[in-house]
Chains A and B, each alone.
Chain A
C-alpha cells in the first residue's frame, strides 16, 4: 500500500472531526431514542418502547395530522404558484431586481416574516387557525419552488415549445405534453423541499396559529413538551422527523440531477 503523507493524514483527521462535530449530537439523539431506560446518562439496553409510547398519545396524533394537513396543502398550492411564477419570470426580460424580489421570502428571518404575517392577518381581522398557517407556509414555499424550477428552466431549449406548436399542438397541449414533463424533475424537487420545510417549520406556525390543539402542529407540540425537559418520547419523535426530512431531501436531489443535454 502506498504510504500516506503526513499532510494528507492531518487533512483526513480534520475532516473526521468536522463530521463528528456536525453529526455527533444527532447520532446521540438517535441512539438515546432506542435507550430502554430513557435516561441520557446510562445505556440500559435496546428498546423501541418510546416509539410504542408515541403510538398511544392522542395529542401527538392530532399534531401530526395537523402538520400533514398544513404541509400537503401548502406544498400543493405553493408548487403550482411557484412553477407558474418561474415560467412567467422566464418570459420576462431578465432584470436583477425582479429576481432579487423572489429571494426575499427565503432570506427574511423567520421571526420577521412571522410578525409581518401576524400583523397582516390582524389587519384583515382574519380568524387564526390551521388555514392561517397554511397561507403563511405558502408565502415562503412559493419562493423555494420558484427558485428550484427556474434553475431547471435555465437549460430548457425553448425551441421545443415552438417545435410542438409547429407540429400541430395548441399552447395548452404543448404545456401538458412538452413543457411540464421536461421541467417535472424541477417541479417535484421543489415540491419535496417545500414539504420538508413545512413539516418542521416552527416559528411562523407558532405566531400565526390560533389557540388550542386544533391548530397545534407537530413542531409546536414538541416545543410545548420540551418545556418540561427532554423526554425519551421527544428523542423518538425527533428521530422520525429527521428520517422523513433526510429521505425527502435525498429523493429531491436524486430526481433533480442534471441530465446530459443532447
Chain B
C-alpha cells in the first residue's frame, strides 16, 4: 500500500507550550488511521495542520508526494468533519452538503445528483429541506459526514466524530464509519481520546503523548506489544509490577523473579506488565515451574456477564492486581473475599518495560 500522507519532524509551539514535538508518521492509501491520546497530547493540532488551520513551525508534510504545506487550506484535497459538526445554521441540509460542490463550481444536475448521492450514503434522504436545528444529534452528525465526503477528498479528517453522541448511538456509528470507509475508499484519519473507539475502528493507531508519537501500530500490536508503560497503561487494562531488570526477567524487591519478554537494560528499573485476562487463579501453587506465580489476597469480586473481575492484593509486590476470569472456569466458583490464592501466568503473556521516572510511578498509583 502506498503512502498518502508523510509527515517528517513536524513541530508546533503555542507560546511556550509545545503542541507537536518532531512528529513523523506515514498514513497509507485507504487506511482507517486513528490519532489517539489524552487531551492536550497534540492530536487535534496534528489534524489541524493537515487541514491547513495551523502552520507547523518546523517539518514537512506531503500528500501524494507533493508539499501539502504550500497549498492553501481551501485548495487542499482534504476535508474535515468538525467535532461541533460546524453545520451552517442558515442553510438547509441540501445546501449544507452542496456547499463544497458549489465552491468547486459544480452546477445543475450534477450538483443535484452528487448531493443526493452523498445524502443517500448516510441515509438522510428526505431530510433535504430541514434546517440543522430541526435535526437530532445523530442526524446532524450524518449531515456533517455527508458534507465532508461529497467532494471525494483524498483524505477525510474526523475530529472526535462520535464524542457528542450517546453511548448506544456511538457503537452503531463506529460500525457505520467503518462501512462507509470501505464503501468510499477514502483514507480516514480520526482523532479520538477513547482507546476503545480507536481499537474498534482503526487499521492503525498512533498513540500520542505530550506532542510526540509514542507508538504507532495496529490495534493488536499496541495491545500485545506495547513499547512503554504509557502505551501499556493507556490501551486496555494492565497490571504492573515494579522491579529491576535481571538476566531472565524482572526481580522484585523480595528477590522473586518474574519472567517475561521485552527490552530493558540490564540491572535498570523495569516494569513487568501483564493483562488481566492472562492471569490464572489457582488454589495451589502450580506445578509448572516456568510460570510466574504470586500469592494474593482477594479484595473484591464483581460480575460483568462473561467474566468476573477479581481484585487482588499482592503483598510481595505491594500492588493491587486485576484479574478477569471466565465465569465458566470451575476454579472460580468458590472464590471468596479475603481468601488467599495463587495468581499465575506464563512468561510469554508478560512484557518487560523500562521504568523511567518517578512521575511514571506516581501515575500508576
Contacts and interface: CB of A to CB of B under 8 A. Distances in A.
B135 A159 contact: no
Nearest to A185: B90
Contacts, number: 69
A181 B90 contact: yes
Given A163-B80, A261-B133, A262-B140, A182 B90 contact: yes
A167 B100 contact: yes
A168 B52 CA distance: 12
B89 A259 contact: yes
A40 interface: no
A90 interface: no
A166 B89 CA distance: 17
A167 to B, nearest CB: 4
A: interface residue count bin: 20 to 34
A72 B172 CA distance: 56
Given A167-B79, A167-B99, A167-B100, A162 B132 contact: no
Interface in B99-145: 99-100, 103-104, 132-133, 135, 140
Contacts of B85: 262
Nearest to A173: B103
A251 interface: no
Contact of A170 (B74, B79, B87, B90): B74
Contact of A163 (B86, B90, B104): B86
Contacts of B79: 166-167
Contacts of A261: 89, 133
A169 B105 CA distance: 11
Given A159-B82, A259-B133, A166 B88 contact: no
Nearest to A156: B89
B51 interface: yes
Which of A168, A181, A260 has the most B CB atoms < 10 Å from its CB? A168
B75 interface: yes
Contacts of B74: 165-170
A246 to B, nearest CB: 29
Interface in B50-94: 51-53, 73-75, 78-80, 82-90
A167 B82 contact: no
A164 interface: yes
Interface of A: 157, 159-160, 162-170, 173, 178, 181-182, 259-262
30 contacts: A157-B84, A157-B86, A159-B84, A159-B86, A160-B86, A160-B87, A162-B80, A162-B86, A163-B82, A165-B73, A165-B74, A166-B51, A166-B52, A166-B73, A166-B74, A166-B78, A166-B80, A166-B148, A167-B79, A167-B147, A167-B151, A168-B104, A169-B74, A169-B103, A170-B74, A178-B88, A182-B88, A182-B89, A262-B133, A262-B135
Interface of B: 51-53, 73-75, 78-80, 82-90, 99-100, 103-104, 132-133, 135, 140, 147-148, 151
Given A162-B51, A166-B74, 16 more contacts: A157-B86, A159-B82, A159-B84, A160-B86, A160-B87, A165-B74, A166-B51, A166-B52, A167-B79, A167-B147, A168-B75, A170-B74, A181-B90, A262-B89, A262-B135, A262-B140
